[in-house]
Structure 1
Amino acid sequence: MSGQCNPPPGLGRVVAVAAGGYHTCALDADGVVVCFGNNSSGQCDVPPLPRVMSVAAGLEHTCVLLADGRVLCFGNNQHSQCDVPEDLKPVAEVAAGAWHTCALQVDGRLRCFGDNRQHQCDVPGSLELVE
């Protein structure tokens, strides 16, 4: 696997970066995401998107937080890590693990989805709202 350490030419002013298993994604100052490196599962095939606020990279998937608070994920969906719950409320932050994704809703509730074999999506009921 190669190419993940070679940023594409013409990349604008980068304001955020996310490193996945074998790919890297950069968010530029205009809210545009560019991903590069291994693309075996489509994790670098960034679809047409409105303005992006942040990006997260998992092992073989990528998630973006859009300016309107929605989350969109693409790439390997073997464990439903790209299946954003329909009832997900507006999100303030998104994070990607190897085979799962977590979203912090603006109401302070943490939601996780995808592979749960190690209970990584079981948000403890005792966890207070995040502020």
Structure 2
Amino acid sequence: MKSDSTVVAWGRNTENQCNVPTGLSKVIAISAGAYHSVALTSDGTVISWGSNNNGQQNVPVGLDSVIAIFCADYATFVLKSNGRLEAWVGWEKNTGGQLMWNMFRRKHRYFSM
């Protein structure tokens, strides 16, 4: 993240994870997973780019009041201002039980606690 709140990325870029969305600005935090990246803007918006092969870019509709972000290999986690942790991950790469949902068979996972 640059001092003007914009983002630059570099690396192997096998899944477009270095292709920062055009016009992305007012960024206050960034995080990178194995093949995707996430930014948090000053208004609490979460922007994701890179691979979506496993649902890691599926930012929930209506997600708001986000104050912190974190990416794992194939999962994205956010902390909301009310203290709630929310996350989403693709089923295929949940092999480590990142969301403790191995017993379910749906493709994309989302939870809030």
TM over 0.5: yes
User: After TM superposition, what 4+ stretches of structure 1 lie above 2 angstroms from structure 2?
Assistant: 115-119, 121-125
Q: For the aligned residues, what is the CA RMSD? A: 1.7
Question: In the aligned structure 1, how far is the partner of 2:8 from the partner of 2:47?
Answer: 15
Mapping 1:1-131, distance limit 5 Å: 27-47=1-21, 48-116=23-91, 117=94, 118-122=96-100
Report the Cα offset of residue 84 of structure 1: 0.4
Q: Supply the AA of the counterpart residue of 1:76.
A: S
Q: Supply the AA of the counterpart residue of 2:69.
A: V
Structure with greater Cα Rg? 1
Q: Supply the AA of the counterpart residue of 1:36.
A: W
Q: TM-score if structure 2 supplies the norm length? A: 0.80
Q: What stretches of structure 1 of length at least 5 have no aligned partner? A: 1-26, 126-131
Q: Residues 80-111 of structure 1, C-alpha deviation per residue, up to 9 Å, x if partnerless?
A: 11110013222100000000100001111000
Question: In the aligned structure 2, how far is the partner of 1:41 from the partner of 1:101?
Answer: 16
Q: TM-score if structure 1 supplies the norm length? A: 0.69
- Identical counterparts, % of pairs: 31
Question: In the aligned structure 1, how far is the partner of 2:112 from the partner of 2:16?
Answer: 32
Question: In the aligned structure 2, how far is the partner of 1:107 from the partner of 1:89?
Answer: 11
Kindly indicate whether the alpha-carbon contact (under 8 Å) linking 1:115 and 1:121 is maintained by their aligned counterparts in 2.
Answer: no
Residue 8 of structure 2 aligns to a residue whose secondary structure is strand
Q: What stretches of structure 2 of length at least 5 have no aligned partner? A: 101-110
